[in-house]
């Protein structure tokens, strides 16, 4: 079914139907894996039943999106937002297909990070938080504020309450830094996803970190030691180690289609994690001027840049990533990357269901009852 591609579409659905869903032939990841099913929604039980199809698929049935790496959207920045603003952001994200997310910090002072994390339970869609930095490499800061990069504490420190917070679901760190071994082991034993990013780690250093419990790469290709024929680097390890989960910002700007294709071909389908890495610019009008992380930025077409043209962050949501992946690599890969794989990583079973027409628009959303399907 990889040849199924959406046609032209608007950036976000303007209207989602609330009509009662009748049985339809759909593309879905169902009880027998990806394929065409006859899907019927029970409005009383609020769950799906699947049977053999009676004809070609008319729609695509997609579990709600799960975003493991998101800094903000729709004019809201996690680092500075109030709980009310975060709830408003969550409502907007649900409209474009989200079921769950982990709001993500940027490298900042301890006080600013604690203040942001204090709002990490503002909405039921939030399933913990992702600590990106401050334990990253100064060689690969990306858009992270370099002045707040910290060494990894090797003894008790003021960062311990955040590192021990039950809401911490993922941390991005540079595994080559002194003290990383102990922190990786400590957090991975607790079930925290330890993701390698903003890093200058060699291939061997990545493999060492994986042996200790690191299991993911943050925005693969971006802000990490690249592939080289004499030293395969972080990127080489991400491509070759089939156990490593790999985040991908697929806006076709942070990562080209050719580079994304290499990743998709190298990784098992259950190891690809689409992320938005979105900023407050996502969903904002093109040309809008914003103040973000102390910088003056301008919103472009699914991107945000400094006024001198430097790329300053992502301007997409997972809906955009889903549509791009569907168009370039097929519907199955898009569903796994945007919904199933990150959901499994965070223990989120599908409850929200997005019905897409084959042009790539969400036309209806339905929520399961107490017993969600788990494929």
> What single string gives the DSSP state of each residue in 202-269?
-HHHHHHHHHHT--EESSTTTTBPPP-SS--HHHHHHHH-TT-EEEEE-SSSSS-HHHHHHHHHHS-G
User: How far apart are alpha carbons 284 and 301 in whole angstroms?
Assistant: 10
What is the spatial distance between Cα 274 and Cα 322, in angstroms, rounded to a whole number? 8
CA distance 157 to 262: 41
Residue 340 per-residue DSSP state: I
Q: How far apart, in whole angstroms, are the C-alpha atoms of residue 29 and residue 343?
A: 14
Residue with token string 């006859």: 38
Name the residues annotated as catalytic. 277
Half-sphere exposure of residue 72, counting CA atoms within 13 Å on the CB side?
24
What pLDDT score was predicted for residue 297? 87
User: What integer pLDDT is reported at residue 155 of this predicted model?
Assistant: 94
Q: CA 81, CA 90: separation in Å to the nearest integer?
A: 12
Q: Which portions of the chain are predicted below pLDDT 50?
A: 1-20, 370-375
Question: What's the chain's Rg over C-alpha atoms?
Answer: 20
Q: What span, in angstroms and rounded, lies between the C-alpha atoms of 169 and 195?
A: 11
Ordered domains of the chain (ranges, CATH): 64-347 (3.20.20.140)
Indicate yes or no: pTM above 0.85: yes
The two three-digit tokens of residue 70, written as one number: 């998101």
User: What's the pLDDT at 305?
Assistant: 85
pLDDT in the model for residue 294: 76
By the 8 A CB rule, do 169 and 189 touch? no
């Amino acid at each position: 079914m990889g040849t199924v591609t959406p046609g032209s579409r608007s950036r976000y659905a303007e209207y989602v139907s609330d009509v009662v869903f009748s049985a339809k032939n759909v593309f879905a990841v169902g009880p027998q894996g990806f394929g065409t099913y006859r899907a019927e929604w029970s409005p009383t039980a609020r769950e799906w039943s699947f049977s053999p199809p009676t004809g070609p698929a008319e729609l695509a049935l997609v579990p709600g999106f799960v975003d493991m790496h998101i800094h903000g959207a729709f004019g809201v920045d996690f680092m500075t937002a109030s709980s009310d603003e975060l709830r408003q952001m969550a409502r907007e994200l649900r409209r474009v297909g989200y079921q769950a997310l982990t709001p993500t910090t940027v490298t900042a002072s301890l006080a600013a990070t604690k203040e942001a994390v204090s709002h990490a339970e503002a909405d039921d869609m939030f399933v913990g938080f992702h600590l990106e930095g401050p334990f990253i490499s100064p060689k690969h800061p990306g858009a992270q504020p370099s002045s707040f990069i910290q060494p990894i504490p090797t003894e008790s420190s003021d960062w311990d309450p955040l590192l021990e917070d039950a809401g911490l679901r993922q941390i991005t760190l540079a595994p080559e830094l002194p003290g990383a071994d102990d922190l990786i082991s400590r957090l991975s034993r607790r079930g925290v996803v330890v993701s390698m990013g903003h890093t200058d780690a060699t291939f061997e250093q990545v493999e060492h970190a994986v042996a200790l419990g690191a299991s993911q790469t943050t925005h693969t290709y971006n802000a990490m030691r690249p592939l080289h024929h004499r030293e395969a680097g972080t990127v080489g390890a991400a491509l070759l180690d089939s156990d490593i989960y790999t985040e991908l910002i697929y806006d076709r700007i942070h990562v080209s289609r050719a580079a994304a294709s290499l990743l998709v071909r190298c990784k098992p389908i259950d190891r690809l994690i689409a992320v938005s890495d979105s900023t407050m610019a996502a969903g904002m009008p093109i040309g809008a001027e914003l103040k973000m992380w102390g910088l003056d930025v301008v919103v472009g077409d699914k991107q945000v840049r400094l006024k001198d043209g430097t790329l300053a962050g992502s301007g997409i949501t997972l809906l955009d990533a889903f549509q791009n992946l569907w168009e370039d690599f097929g519907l199955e890969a898009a569903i796994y990357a945007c919904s199933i794989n990150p959901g499994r990583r965070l223990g989120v079973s599908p409850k929200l269901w997005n019905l897409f027409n084959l042009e790539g628009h969400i036309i209806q959303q339905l929520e399961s009852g107490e017993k969600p399907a788990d494929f």
